[in-house]
Amino acid sequence: MLLLKNVDLYTPAPAGRTDILIAGGRIERVAPDLGVSESYCEVFDASALVAVPGFVDSHVHLAGGGGEGSYRTRTPELLLSDAIRGGVTTVVGCLGTDGVTRSPENLLAKARGLEEEGISTFIYSGYYAVPVRTITGSIERDLLLIDKVIGVGEVALSDHRSTQPTFDEFVRVAAEARRGGMLSGKAGVVNVHMGDGPRGLSLLERSVKETEIPASQFLPTHINRNPALFEEGTAWAKAGGFVDFTTSTVQASLDEGEVPCAVGLRRMLEAGVDVSQITFSSDGQGSLPRFDERGRLSGLGVGRVTSLFAAARDAAQCEGLPLEVALQVITLNPARILKLHRKGQVAAGSDADVVLLDPGELDIRGVIAKGEWLMKDGEPAAKGTFE
């Protein structure tokens, strides 16, 4: 057992000074002065630290991505150490443009490997293309028969790299994901990659208007990609849909109009969007390509999971949002939307995923995942198999 003593807790809501007792990979009790004997557990004095839930990164290219500039531009896999440095204790893996050399089977194997190394992992079925490439032959079968599959994606829309699905093709994907999610008790969401194209969210809006599929079935990501898409996303969220901001970026994209996540969060809240409709994800290990007016690759970066908390911290430190609000979009919200029931909060019965921060600069000083130290006193306590 592990006892964190007298820590300043955010659940992510502020909960004041308390003790946290961890046993068997779960949080057993949260209360002041638990008085557990040191002979029964490791006691860690956390009185100089802030405890928050482990971060849930809902869009990570675990097995790498990219390839838009040919084979040499395929991006590398996620390393456990990157997740540790970013305080990320739960990841949802996806494929991107390339669903041939980066297969769903490869993604599933990588997810299982990271789980063995110490963090919690889930995946989406498919990649940019429609029809969706699955492992078992259908979206429903993947959701029902593979424990780690919790939804579909990232299906690309309004992007020149998309397979340009028709309305009927796209709705069929959402309908099958919904049925599979209902039958398996999973979220069954469709994670939708939003590109720069002028059609924006039109297929999602039409799906909600013309079918019985609710807006909650979709999680459009990269919503801060440009000002027009951001405004569409604000209206979508105000009407009850979910939106996901991408925290990884490059300066050139910001110079061209991409809305910084911290700024975008503040602006959406000021516009009347409920914070529960908003998530951040990193697009970690995904390529960050830039194309010229003729669609030719002109630059390439790589997404980092460490950007997730950096953006949330900026929301609190630079945009003046309460820390609990900034934390909610990377903890409780993605866990609730994706039905990861024991994730995203510090409470009795939850998985023991805890990040310890210094109260000044909010730097990460400790990471506990499934009850085990991955970082302690600012130093890594674990590493990947080949690191």
As annotated, the active-site residues are: 283
Helices (H) and strands (E) in the chain, counts: 11, 19
Smallest Cα–Cα separation from 279: which of 293, 260, 291, 265?
265
CB atoms within 10 A of CB 137: 9
How far is the CA of 139 from the CAs of 64, 104, 134, 136, 191, in angstroms? Answer: 22, 12, 6, 8, 13
Smallest Cα–Cα separation from 279: which of 340, 344, 331, 225?
331
258-280 as b/e: b if 16+ CB within 10 A: bbbbbbbbbbbbeeebebebbbb
Dist. CA 116–CA 113, nearest whole Å: 5
Token pair recorded at residue 132:
């969706």
- Where do we find the tokens 């690309």? 156
Task: Count how many Cα atoms sit within 13 Å of the Cα of residue 256 in the half-sphere of its side chain.
Answer: 13
Token pair recorded at residue 75:
């991006």
Phi then psi dihedrals of residue 267, to 5 deg: -65, -40
223-251 as b/e: b if 16+ CB within 10 A: bbbbeebbebbbebbeeebbbbbbbbbbe
How far is the CA of 102 from the CAs of 73, 198, 236, in angstroms? Answer: 13, 29, 32
Query: In one letter, which amino acid is 103?
Result: S
Angle between helices 307-317 and 261-270 (to 10 degrees): 50
Residues 22, 368 contacting (CB under 8 angstroms): yes
H or E segment to which residue 9 belongs: strand 2-10
Dist. CA 309–CA 85, nearest whole Å: 10
